[in-house]
Chain A
């Protein structure tokens, strides 16, 4: 059995300079597909579940599915991660159900809609880190609010995402504040905001430096070379699937994800985990 923590996996990834895609899961079919892929190329995996996934599948069903995947593929290390935990109890109950890693997203308040202030984020994240580390589990924090630099708003996904409009400043992680945040909270990994957003519809044009601020990744990595950076909102709808979706009666507006070469560039600058759920293949 090989249930690995996010910290150990990303330490290994940093040492050997690779990145790990994180895939969201709601059901058995997705779990089997991820593991079949991983086993075919000898890759460790990050499987993550949102609050929506936990209530859809039921915590017990989800936990047993991961147990089963582990038993079927004992040679593949699996990190089971809580995506966008909104408060302490979400993180604590995830760990109880076998998650080895949790995200405490204190960039938003517990309603997962209202942008929170910095002091709130530090305090709640610090408390979750303390609890998780007693048990040995890992914590990912988030600094800066995910949302589009094109229109200044977030997008809801599974009921998560900021409502209303924010300034460009709040939608980008401040590199100096990132140093302070990591020091104050002791998070194992840090999700940063650089213009990516949740859901399927991210950019209305192929992103450039104006709407995808890759330089933020490089600046933060320079200041925090040992902190594992996480890129959210980097999942995409592959163009052939968008085309297929629409060819067979769907109505999906044209959307652009984060280009693969930008994610790979991020991996050269400290991004160790990138959410890579293939939307429309997936849900």
Chain B
């Protein structure tokens, strides 16, 4: 956040409201985060996911369904 803080501090020397420092920093962060979601292909995937609760994940671990599948894969490779 500090690059934006410095800019506000230098450009608007009378500014004392912390929100006037924080808001431009938040906007810059938001834009950088959005770029990453788009660059990594993450965008568009939230609505495709139905969240599995922890209790169900615990059952899957217990059943062995989530064990790493190394032996099989390396043997085939």
Chain A residues in the interface with B (C-beta under 8 A): 2-5, 7-9, 12-13, 16-21, 23, 29-30, 32-34, 36-38, 40-44, 75-77, 100, 133-138, 179, 182-183, 186-188, 222-227, 238, 241-242, 244-245, 247-250, 260, 263-264, 267, 274, 276, 278, 280-283
Contact = CB atoms under 8 A, between A and B. Distances in A.
A186 B67 CA distance: 6
Given A20-B40, A20-B42, A41-B38, A5 B54 contact: yes
B46 to A, nearest CB: 5
Contacts, number: 193
Interface string B35-77: 0111111111111110111111111011000111111011001
B46 A76 contact: yes
A41 B44 contact: yes
B64 to A, nearest CB: 10
A105 B33 CA distance: 25
A42 B52 CA distance: 18
Contacts of A12: 45, 48-49
Interface of B: 1-4, 6-7, 9-11, 22, 25-34, 36-49, 51-59, 61-62, 66-71, 73-74, 77
A21 B54 contact: no
A3 B52 CA distance: 9
B40 A16 contact: no
